[in-house]
Copies of this chain bind each other. A is one copy, B any other.
Amino acid sequence: MSFTPAVAEQRFVLEHVARISELGVEDDILDAVLEGAGAFAAGEWAPLDRAGDTVGAQWSPEGVTMPDGYRAAYQAYVEGGWGTIGSPEAYGGQGLPFALSTAVLETLGSANMGFALCPTLTVGAIEALAHHGTPEQQAGYLPKLATGEWTGTMNLTEPQAGSDVGALKTKAEPRGDGTWSISGTKIFISFGDHDLADNIVHLVLARTPDAPAGTKGISLFLVPKYRLNADGTPGDFNDVRVVSIEHKMGLHASPTCVLSFGDNGECIGELIGPEMGGMRAMFTMMNNARLNVGLQGVQVAERASQRAVAYARERVQGSREGKPASIVDFPDVRRMLMRMKAQTMAARALVYLAAAQVDRANAGDAQAKALLDLLTPLAKAHGTDLGCEVASIGVQVHGGMGYIEETGAAQHFRDARITPIYEGTNGIQAADLVGRKLNMDGGATLTALLAQMKADAQDSGLIALIDACAEVTQHMLAADMDDRLAGSYPFLTMLSTAACGWLMEAQGRIAAGAGGDPEFLAMKRAAVDFYVAQIVPEAMGLKAAAMASAEVLYVVQADTFAA
């Protein structure tokens, strides 16, 4: 099935939710970028999506090989300048807003979700170096990362250090010349090795000698796969070996690597930012990465929806009013398709709203920064939950064919399932919401957001949900941490749904008054009506769980918690 870029919808959400005109993007630039990215992704990346799944990235002792066509398609991406959209102008990028680069990345990922993870990680490396690198590091690496000629990775996880990053053991020892000798093993490193680019820039969390235990003792290092020659070109191999890749349920186009640093004592790294300042630098990467994982939810939801709608229109089965009917005509199939559309739109609006705050925060807007911090766990967790839900409905719409791999619906279902896990599990996001994000300002940002939502909302069910979120917020602020955590996930879902309802309802009002493609506007209004009338009330059902205490969870002790 061919992929149709969601250009009209992206433009609408960028205009009316992200308010991209305030970010200095002219209409003609907006159109050129969205349409150009769409044509590129549909033409060059989407056709490789199936082979990404069926062939997948392959490991050998020499390294990881991508399926046929991937290297050429990646080079086309670099040459087309698609890597430079959001990169800093000082290093050859176009310096366009993060919100716009979000739309471009969405399109690439809808075309080929596993492949698009590679540029996603490069963006994280650029962020970390741009904020925390020395001028020499920036000059040496950023121009190549900004174009995508080199790619970046994030190296956090070790076998015993997953969600608990502070438990990591990778070592960095001073070599006496200002550089560091890196040794250790990292796991779950996406695109930790591949044959797409001439160098790979690993950003590695490691522990320096005598560093304190936990996250306070962690530093961030720049560790290229190939050290740079004096002229800046990639030179000697830097003793970073890919030991294996994981056998995953999905996302096979993305090699998930076990990387071994310094097996021969010849892995040289440079400190990024101050010693023991690793977590702060890492969070710079991680926060945007979290939005980009939320965006993966949008990517897969969009593609799964397109596939399901196409199938439902085509598949004739039974009859309605005496005539043979396509299944799209049946009410429960319509309900599924409408839910897919509405949830995809909702996830996109939430992620784009957060992305727009990145630009405003970068421009010095402290309120936008606070809103971004609050929205990040919502965009990551709820965006990915919706991606999984929509992909699952997509399988269902296909009936028995959905379970057959050749149809393609199953791939989306398998691909999507990693997104609630990586880049901080959704449980970690919920904990971040009720812990750090509520505590940062005593709930002031959230309270202000809810007040804004309530002022705008018109539907009585939506108003009731917003009120319920305000009530849970007050409950959370007064509760101890275990009770907050016990209700954290239902609360995150309620709050995200309320925010999406607010954004959807506002879009519906605009669509009712706007000129433009009547079919697009009718679909938007129908999806908004469905969301507000059916999905918003569902979230009210989560209030009891959000306010439940931890007590029921601990009645049974861990050692007798029966399987």
| A residues at B contact (CB < 8 Å) | 4, 157, 160, 162-164, 166-167, 187-188, 246-250, 305-307, 309-310, 313, 316-318, 326, 328-338, 341, 388, 392, 395-396, 399-400, 402-406, 410, 413-414, 417-418, 420-422, 425-427, 430-431, 461, 482, 485-486, 488-490, 519-520, 522-523, 525-526, 529-530, 533-534, 537-545, 548, 550, 552-556, 558-563
Contacts and interface: CB of A to CB of B under 8 A. Distances in A.
A249 B400 contact: no
User: Which of A248, A427, A522, A562: most chain B CB closer than 10 A?
Assistant: A562
Contact of A526 (B249, B305, B522, B556): B556
Contacts of A430: 332
B544 A541 contact: no
Contact of A162 (B329, B399, B425, B486): B399
Contact of A558 (B163, B167, B329): B329
Contacts of A250: 403
Copies assembled? 2
Which 8 pairs across A and B sit closest by C-beta, in order of nearness?
Answer: A541-B541, A331-B485, A306-B563, A537-B544, A334-B553, A164-B318, A538-B541, A309-B563
Contact of A163 (B247, B318, B413, B530): B318
Nearest to A543: B537
Contact of A417 (B318, B334, B413, B562): B413
Nearest to A310: B563
A410 B247 CA distance: 11
A523 B556 CA distance: 6
A112 to B, nearest CB: 17
Main SS at interface, chain A: helix
B306 A157 contact: no
Contacts of A305: 563
Contacts of A317: 160, 162-164, 167
Contacts of A554: 334
B332 A427 contact: yes
Given A157-B400, A417-B413, A405 B561 contact: no
Given A422-B400, A485-B331, A552-B529, A406 B247 contact: yes
User: Which of A4, A188, A336, A526: most chain B CB closer than 10 A?
Assistant: A526
A197 to B, nearest CB: 25
Nearest to A406: B247
Given A341-B562, A519-B556, 19 more contacts: A157-B400, A162-B399, A167-B318, A187-B400, A247-B405, A249-B413, A249-B414, A309-B561, A330-B427, A330-B485, A331-B482, A331-B486, A331-B488, A331-B550, A333-B427, A400-B422, A519-B560, A523-B562, A529-B555
B427 A402 contact: no
Given A332-B489, A405-B247, A399 B552 contact: no
Nearest to A319: B164
A233 to B, nearest CB: 35
Contact of A523 (B328, B396, B410, B561): B561
Given A334-B554, A526-B552, A530-B552, A247 B404 contact: yes
A409 to B, nearest CB: 9
A367 B405 CA distance: 44
A417 B403 contact: yes
B534 A544 contact: yes
A486 B533 CA distance: 13
A404 B330 CA distance: 38
A522 B555 CA distance: 8
A204 B540 CA distance: 48
A395 B418 CA distance: 9
Contacts of A336: 427
A258 B147 CA distance: 50
A395 B414 CA distance: 12
22 contacts: A162-B317, A163-B318, A164-B317, A167-B318, A246-B404, A307-B563, A309-B561, A310-B563, A329-B558, A332-B430, A338-B553, A396-B425, A399-B425, A400-B421, A403-B418, A523-B556, A523-B560, A523-B561, A523-B562, A530-B552, A537-B542, A541-B542
